[in-house]
Structure 1
Amino acid sequence: MVQRLPLDAFFQRETTHPHKRYMVQPQVGGQIEELSWAQVGNQARRAAAWLRAQELEPGSRIAIISKNCAHWIIADLAIWMAGHVSVPLYPNLTAESVRQILEHSESVLAFIGKLDDWPAMSGGVPEGVPTVGLPLRPAGRFDSLWSDLQAFEPISDNPQPAADQLATIIYTSGTTGMPKGVMHTFANFGYTGSQAVELFDVGADDRVLSYLPLCHVAERMFVQMVSIYAGQSIFFAESLDTFVHDIRRARPTVFFGVPRIWGKFQMGVFSKMPPKKLDRLLKIPFLGRVMARKVLAGLGLDAVRYAMSGGAPVPDALVDWYQRLGLEILEVYGMTENCGYSHVGRPGSRKSGWIGQSNPGVDVRISEQGEVQVRSGSVTQGYYKQPQLTAETITEDGFLCTGDKGEQDGDGYLRLTGRIKEIFKTSKGKYVAPAPIENRLAAHSEIEQVCVVGDGLPQPIALCVLSEAGRKELRESLQGSLVELLERINDSLDKHERLRALIVIDDVWAVENGFLTPTLKIKRAVIEGVYGPRFHEWMEYGTLVHWHDEI
């Protein structure tokens, strides 16, 4: 089946319903700007004309450094229309990381948009790389402004890049080392966008809120590509402070979140109503349904048709809680290297502990080592300038080696049992996969983040960070439930997997202090580096659960 490529799909939207609302962008000062498909196309075409006038080599790499905003996507379209390759960067990188990526990709130009701390990043832009300030740009000096680009006459042709032409290089957020540049062609994006729209029956009447980084493949596919192929409207979040207002304004019909977001929503509800009281009310006939709708409306999720979670396993207890509110969360599995298109749960067919079945067109196999390997039209062409790593990651017959250990049941459901590289060996010579244990610990309503460690230790230990509500609880009252949780989990584990201790960390693990990746995954190496010197000491402490700041 021949898939429409992204620009062809966009040109069709531009022609079919030029005046339909496409993007809704909050402005500085509280105003809201709405852009139609025709307006987006016009701005992209003018920017493409300016790019053509720069006489860059065809296929030049052009960076986008910005938080999510309408002009992030418009700049991306303009880069493609001008025959170049977009290189998106996370908006909170250090100057050193910015320089690494711009130099490695050989980017010749950078679009600079909505950013919180541009002065801290700007030093990473190499000399000789011009910058273009987007409308929501930070203060500072730029070589050109978006208004300069808009002074050009728009291109009148509809460029049609080849299916195998490189569209973008997505640098992974990686938990260690230099990020890898994942290369995706227009065919990769076209395959994923077309299949995703068909899989979920998303259409032009749907609405989505864009708030996870657009430079990450999940948001790039779920928001940008699906909007082009389905015609859905995109609402952009203004900031973390206005997030609740933004989501209520958008009332999305499809919503994608990482487990931490779903957990934060729940904690927000619990901060206004104790869990036990809400639980009692939800059990009351009729009143329970009214209360559930009220809770979802308060979160801005009352119009959601499809709710999805990805990036990490979502605890069953959290999924069950939303189910009681009438919102079914479907777990998604994928990675940058396959455009996030691999597996997803189907409505009404959830199986506890299992992600779901493979997406249409995806071949799956489990290697002799237990690694999940997948093949589809979404799989990357490889890593930019890293042919050896590409050969190690993509088999000769086209399967992507995911690095995840897993298993399939007779119905094709997939369950992950850990990362091959994250599995550690205790000093007793036994191997432990941390992810399944972390999942069980995360079921506690007051635990927000957790990391199980144990490389070289006699037994594993767990480190956790409490939620905001958990931090307010008296330690004496929380101690009992944590001990009970730990004992219950240990009873279900093999002897060599049982946790010797649970350490409640007083620090905050965040992107800003380096404990989390931009996609909110914990950096195990950082956690082990910071707390590792005390692991043996904590092993010998007398109680099962203890607080980091008291020992």
Structure 2
Amino acid sequence: MNTLRSDFQKGQTLLDYFYYWEKQQPNKVYLRQPQGGRYRDFTWCEVGRQARTLATYLNSLGLPAKSNIGLVSKNCAHWVIADLAILLSGHVSVPFYPTLTASQLQQVLDHSQCQALFVGKLDKWQEMKSGVPKTVPCIDFPPQQPVLGLPDATHAQWEDILARYEPMTDNPQPHSEDLFTIVYTSGTTGNPKGVMMPYKAMISAIDSTKPLMCVDVPDPRFFSYLPLCHVAERNLVEALSLITGGTVYFVESMATFAKNLAAARPTHFLGVPRIWLKFQQTILARMPQRKLDQLLKIPLLSGIVKRELRMALGLNDARLILTGAAPTPVPLIRWFRQLGINIQEAYGMTENLGVVSVMPANTIKDGTVGMLYSGIQVKFDAVTGELMTRSDWTMRGYFREPEMTAAALDSEGWLHTGDVGTLDDEGFLTITGRMKEIYKTTKGEFVAPAQIESGFSENNFVDQICVAVHQLPQPIALIMLSETGLKADKVEVSQSLEETLNSLNPNLHTYQRVKKAVIVKDPWTVDNDMMTPSLKIKRKIIESRYESHLQPWLEREETVIWEG
């Protein structure tokens, strides 16, 4: 059992926290890696030994001081160890998404000027590896599932390094102005941008958010499944585990997700909207809504049902349950609340370390993204309503992109977020859309698709939705069905969507009303580039995919259309 030390001082880096736990609880398990139904455990001492040995190796390469070191892998214990090794060696950690194509990997490696690359747990390395310049030395993680294939003779091997080098024994202390990491965005609107974060930004964000992050929970446990290169997962899992001295459980694969989550029983959990929708569908597949409603009305059974459902998901011990990365429909949040799963919505972006606002645990205002963290300032453009933020954890800028930096950061340090929103008299922040996702119809009216899409949130047949507006007289809803929807009768699905439209449209302006609902044939996935690795839809790519069909669909008689 472990709680956060009350004597931790402000201004400590993540390395300072690591040094503390490495010394104070060397034999406690830090990382738990599932492998074929079993777990391989890494204690704080073992993580330190491996990270320090890898740091010795990196220093032996004779790279320039504070070089950028790349890291491409799915989430696993070795990801965290490699990240720590980069920091211990005094270099800059530059993690990449594990779903990149060869050309995308080459683009970010060239742009980031990485001097070396850790290569880890990947599904398609054989297709990706041609994107690595021959001048960039690679270090392979130990073989695991999915494997990289036979060891590459040109790559340094993790286990060989551990056998040949000695772990460094000193505790390097980076300067607060030193660059801690470069976080590349997911590239929803063009090439990814490298967000530069100095150590002082992470220090300030930690000190500001710690009071709200349940850091004193006994035996803190974290579950890692969203990409660790994304700022949200890196904050909630890697950073918070280092701060609390907790244990991180990893997902082995999406096929074992439910099993791994139930085993972890996390005290801290972050779920993106699509995950919460999947959880809801899993529950309703076992217990239809009508039966669930009946049981929840019976006092003696209600508590038992709630507890059993939370335990089945693995969330019965969760003290901090967050959602973010994209808007989570209010009806979905309320649905989970009736089960005793209180989801707190958080808001931020890579450029401000994802730290702007969070819903207070005991003061909930649905439809908002909570209240501002201490230390963040906001204001809104008087004409466009664009939200701007200012804090000590705002990015230094975009790596090698001075023009983009100047466009995002003004001379007074205000970050132009590109989001449109409001702050009410009670201090609650509401995000109403994206500047780049407000489109003009051919009738000359402006429409924000995200606001319309939320109106479909209570329809259990809908998994993902993209409302297309650009160059159309009226919006069209492109819909990917949920597993429930795919199994249901087509007539029932069509009737349900018509009912949703009949309920939604009267509450919208005439020019916002959805004219057609089109059920698309092919799923939207990360692999086909329709979704980001953090499971947000890529609106422009989806609209481009169906562009030639939109006008003909508008001209058809039926309201609900099945593609193909």
Q: TM-score scaled to structure 2, two decimals?
A: 0.95
Range moving further from structure 2, 4-13 or 185-194? 185-194
Distance 2:550 2:158 in 1: 52
Do residues 168 (structure 1) and 181 (structure 2) align? yes
Residue from 6, 11, 19 that aligns with 1:3: 11
Distance 2:187 2:385 in 1: 22
Name the counterpart of 2:156. 144
Tell me, what secondary structure is at the counterpart of 2:400?
Answer: coil
Distance 1:269 1:499 in 2: 30
- 1:231-273 CA-to-partner distances (Å, cap 9, x unmatched) read 2211111111111110111001111010000100111111222
Aligned length: 548
Name the counterpart of 1:122. 129
Name the counterpart of 1:185. 198
Range moving further from structure 2, 487-496 or 209-218? 487-496
Question: How many angstroms does 1:195 deviate by?
Answer: 2.9
Range moving further from structure 2, 383-392 or 16-25? 16-25
Distance 1:185 1:230 in 2: 22
Name the counterpart of 2:272. 258
Distance 2:16 2:60 in 1: 23
Distance 1:547 1:339 in 2: 41
Question: How many angstroms does 1:375 deviate by?
Answer: 1.3
Question: How many angstroms does 1:546 deviate by?
Answer: 2.0
Question: How many angstroms does 1:2 deviate by?
Answer: 5.0
Question: How many angstroms does 1:453 deviate by?
Answer: 1.1
Name the counterpart of 1:133. 140
Do residues 277 (structure 1) and 273 (structure 2) align? no
Contact 1:316/1:443 (<8 A) preserved: no
Question: How many angstroms does 1:213 deviate by?
Answer: 0.4
**Identity fraction in percent:** 44
Contact 2:214/2:320 (<8 A) preserved: no
Alignment-mate amino acid for residue 6 of structure 1: L
Question: How many angstroms does 1:543 deviate by?
Answer: 2.4
Do residues 92 (structure 1) and 105 (structure 2) align? no
Tell me, what secondary structure is at the counterpart of 2:303?
Answer: helix
Tell me, what secondary structure is at the counterpart of 1:12?
Answer: helix
Distance 1:506 1:147 in 2: 46
Do residues 512 (structure 1) and 512 (structure 2) align? no
Tell me, what secondary structure is at the counterpart of 1:307?
Answer: strand
Contact 1:196/1:226 (<8 A) preserved: no
Do residues 49 (structure 1) and 63 (structure 2) align? no
Residue from 12, 17, 32 that aligns with 2:20: 12
Do residues 246 (structure 1) and 260 (structure 2) align? yes
Question: How many angstroms does 1:442 deviate by?
Answer: 2.4
Name the counterpart of 1:304. 318
Alignment-mate amino acid for residue 280 of structure 1: Q
Question: How many angstroms does 1:405 deviate by?
Answer: 0.4
Contact 1:197/1:230 (<8 A) preserved: no
Alignment-mate amino acid for residue 89 of structure 2: A
Contact 2:214/2:319 (<8 A) preserved: no
Question: How many angstroms does 1:521 deviate by?
Answer: 1.1
Distance 1:489 1:3 in 2: 50
Residue from 544, 550, 557 that aligns with 1:535: 550
Contact 1:59/1:83 (<8 A) preserved: yes
Instruction: Show the 5 A alignment for 1:362-373.
Output: 362-368=376-382, 369-373=384-388
Name the counterpart of 2:90. 83
Question: How many angstroms does 1:317 deviate by?
Answer: 1.2
Question: How many angstroms does 1:435 deviate by?
Answer: 0.7
Question: How many angstroms does 1:25 deviate by?
Answer: 1.0
Name the counterpart of 1:470. 485
Alignment-mate amino acid for residue 360 of structure 1: S
Distance 1:194 1:268 in 2: 38
Contact 1:442/1:450 (<8 A) preserved: no
Q: TM-score scaled to structure 1, two decimals?
A: 0.97
Distance 1:453 1:461 in 2: 5
Question: How many angstroms does 1:319 deviate by?
Answer: 0.6
Distance 1:92 1:340 in 2: 22
**After TM superposition, where is structure 1 displaced by more than 3 Å over at least 4 residues in a row?**
none
Question: How many angstroms does 1:518 deviate by?
Answer: 1.1
Range moving further from structure 2, 219-228 or 474-483? 474-483
- In structure 1, runs of 5+ residues without a counterpart are none
- 1:378-409 CA-to-partner distances (Å, cap 9, x unmatched) read 21101000011111101212121110000111
Do residues 452 (structure 1) and 464 (structure 2) align? no
Distance 2:228 2:89 in 1: 21
Tell me, what secondary structure is at the counterpart of 1:325?
Answer: coil
Do residues 386 (structure 1) and 396 (structure 2) align? no
Name the counterpart of 1:71. 78
Question: How many angstroms does 1:230 deviate by?
Answer: 1.7
Question: How many angstroms does 1:47 deviate by?
Answer: 0.7
Alignment-mate amino acid for residue 542 of structure 1: E
Distance 1:397 1:189 in 2: 21
Contact 2:441/2:447 (<8 A) preserved: yes
Distance 2:26 2:381 in 1: 49
Distance 1:504 1:468 in 2: 13
Tell me, what secondary structure is at the counterpart of 2:131?
Answer: coil
Tell me, what secondary structure is at the counterpart of 1:241?
Answer: helix
Alignment-mate amino acid for residue 253 of structure 1: T
Distance 2:236 2:96 in 1: 18
RMSD of aligned alpha carbons: 1.3
Contact 2:283/2:309 (<8 A) preserved: yes
